Chain A
Amino acid sequence: MNKYIFQGIIFITMGFLGISCDSLHKFKGEHHSLAEELRKISVDSINYKFDARDIYKGNSLILAYTSDSIHNFYLPERTSEITSFPCLSCHTEPLEDLKNKQENGKQAHWDIKINHAENNVMGCITCHDQNSMDGLTAINKGKITYNESFKLCLQCHSTQYNDWLGGAHGKSLGGWVEPRIMNNCVNCHDPHSPAFEPRWPARLNTIKLKEQTSN
């Protein structure tokens, strides 16, 4: 009789071995993190079937040149977005002369409130080139175009700039395939008031709320 019982036990054990054999590979070897694994199986220069420029919908693109980026990437063209560009169509005289003329009347650009750093640190001409209004000016008086305005921002916001170059900051526009198409800083941040304003969320989950209150 004991023989039968023994055979029965073997039978059941074999059954469960079925599962364990299958899951054995989970226990083999030492610990590997997924990230470590990824580094090992990475593939350099992948040919993607799709091109980000075909996916991107929006303004024409310009190629951004940076000294420290591994790859060049694209930004949306900016100047066509600015309502009264080129600025020189109005700014024919030096700024000082314009200011004197308009002493009592309503000023141009009256709607622009600067909420960017302290007033005594930054003013209009910290960024705008007062000698040539169609461009921007760097701290070292170097010229920066509106299309590459990120070069102006990176002077102070180097951390954000590095994150942006790498991909941790900012918004990708053309999908995940190459080439990279990124929003310029000013596409998300108003340069005169760069912080995001609080607002209401886009939706309320009424059903979940009902569940919560009824229970």
Chain B
Amino acid sequence: MKHPNKSINKECSPDSCGCQNDKPDGFEQKLNKPINRRGMFQQLTASLLTGAGLVNSSCSVTATDDKREKKQLEWEEYFKGNYRLMSDNEKQDTVKRLERLYELNNGNHASISSEQPSENVLFGYAFNISKCQGYMDCVNACVQENNQDRNSQMQYIRIHEHQNGQINFDLADDDFYHEVPAAGHFYIGTQCFHCENPPCVEVCPVKATWKEKDGIVVIDYDWCIGCRYCMAACPYDGRRFNWATPEIPTEEINKDQHYLGNRLRKKGVMEKCTFCIQRSRKGNNPACVDACPTGARIFGNLLDPNSEIRWVLDNKKVFRLKEDLGTEPKFWYFMD
């Protein structure tokens, strides 16, 4: 169905990507323009709901200013637009609201970034099968960095223990717990591959997930309706769903956050690896690359001919998983 001849240029053109030529949308628009469809919808429902809300907050003796402010912020958040259609001002506003809400909920400050993709950057990743020893340090680092639910042990990365002689994921063990590397075995890690032709993006009915200009496939957690169609469409098990409210001990929360990355999620929405967007957009490597003790993980800019990732692609024999599906993952495997 999907042939791998979609050019990257085309893919990142403003109209298909929505990164530029932003249409005004979202909550802020209501203040700038007389009225729009969402504004109308908001006012319509507001008349139904504020009645109840006002009675609730004004009559209750326990309702403090904080509570009222929280309600107000949640109200505004509920009606905001899709992140990728927001103007820069709207992005700033929602970030401010989210930071304030975090402060009201957790009592301390977290910074939520809305750092945009840089020019001439397309992220790619390479995984050295010869080097990975199955130590799982990457998984721990990922969970801590990205504020994943501790209760359900949600993880973006899977390490598959294969027996020598074949690459057959059906026979691989994903839950090994013995000294590693085990004799006669090798290890392959998988996570979201940030496909150039992402089937998950194609199927989302509300455009809550998309490919950013720098190639990262992201989710707007506040726009996702939780239908899980993307989960069914992903051939790589790259997506995770919050079946319950995610729980993280307050002292373990990573407060260096990004709107499209590791900010705290709610129940009932999708999430996934974002190449640690809060780190990579600032020039840093994803947490898994940093944590890997064997240097099996390589990350970088595919458009930069001098980058490490490009050296690997040009000089090593690389392959990708399920290439026949035409998804064009930006995640390559190679051996020494």
A interface residues with partner B (beta carbon < 8 Å) = 25-35, 37-39, 41-44, 46, 48-52, 54-55, 70-71, 159, 163, 166-172, 175-178, 180, 183, 188, 196, 198-209, 212
Contact = CB atoms under 8 A, between A and B. Distances in A.
Interface string B259-297: 000000000000000000001101111000100111100
A163 B285 CA distance: 19
**B interface bracket (residues with beta carbon within 8 Å of A):** 35 or more
B120 A46 contact: yes
A57 B8 CA distance: 34
Interface in B177-207: 177-181, 196
A33 B309 CA distance: 16
A50 B140 CA distance: 27
Interface string B6-49: 11111000000000000000000000000000000000000000
B179 A198 contact: yes
Interface in B148-191: 152-153, 155, 174-181
Contacts of A29: 5
Shortest Cβ-Cβ A-B pairs, 10 listed: A167-B308, A50-B283, A166-B311, A177-B283, A201-B136, A175-B284, A171-B295, A176-B300, A204-B177, A202-B136
A212 B175 contact: yes
Contacts of A201: 134-136, 176-177, 180
Interface stretch (B56-64, B220-228, B248-256, B312-320): B312-320
A176 B178 CA distance: 33
Interface stretch (B66-74, B100-108, B234-242, B328-336): B328-336
A35 B134 contact: no
B3 A34 contact: no
Contact of B307 (A35, A41, A176, A196): A176
A202 B137 contact: yes
A200 B4 contact: no
A176 B3 contact: no
Contact of A55 (B122, B128, B284, B301): B284
| Most B Cβ at <10 Å: residue of A25, A51, A175 | A175
Contacts of B5: 26, 28-32
Contacts of B135: 199, 201-202
Nearest to B316: A168
Contact of A42 (B131, B137, B180, B303): B303
A207 B196 CA distance: 33
Given A44-B305, A172-B308, A196 B294 contact: yes
A188 B299 contact: no
A206 B153 contact: yes
B298 interface: yes
B334 A168 contact: yes
Interface of B: 1-10, 118-122, 126, 128, 131, 133-137, 139-140, 152-153, 155, 174-181, 196, 279-280, 282-285, 289, 292-295, 298-313, 315-316, 318, 328, 330, 334, 336
B264 to A, nearest CB: 21
B136 A70 contact: no
Contacts of A207: 152-153
23 contacts: A26-B5, A29-B5, A37-B7, A38-B310, A42-B303, A43-B303, A52-B283, A54-B283, A159-B336, A163-B336, A166-B315, A167-B307, A168-B311, A168-B334, A172-B285, A172-B299, A175-B284, A176-B309, A188-B293, A200-B178, A200-B180, A205-B153, A208-B153
Nearest to A180: B308
Contacts of B179: 198-200
Given A32-B4, A188-B295, A199-B179, A169 B336 contact: yes
B180 A198 contact: yes
A37 B285 contact: no
Contacts of B137: 202
A183 B294 CA distance: 11
Contacts of B310: 38, 42
A175 B283 contact: yes
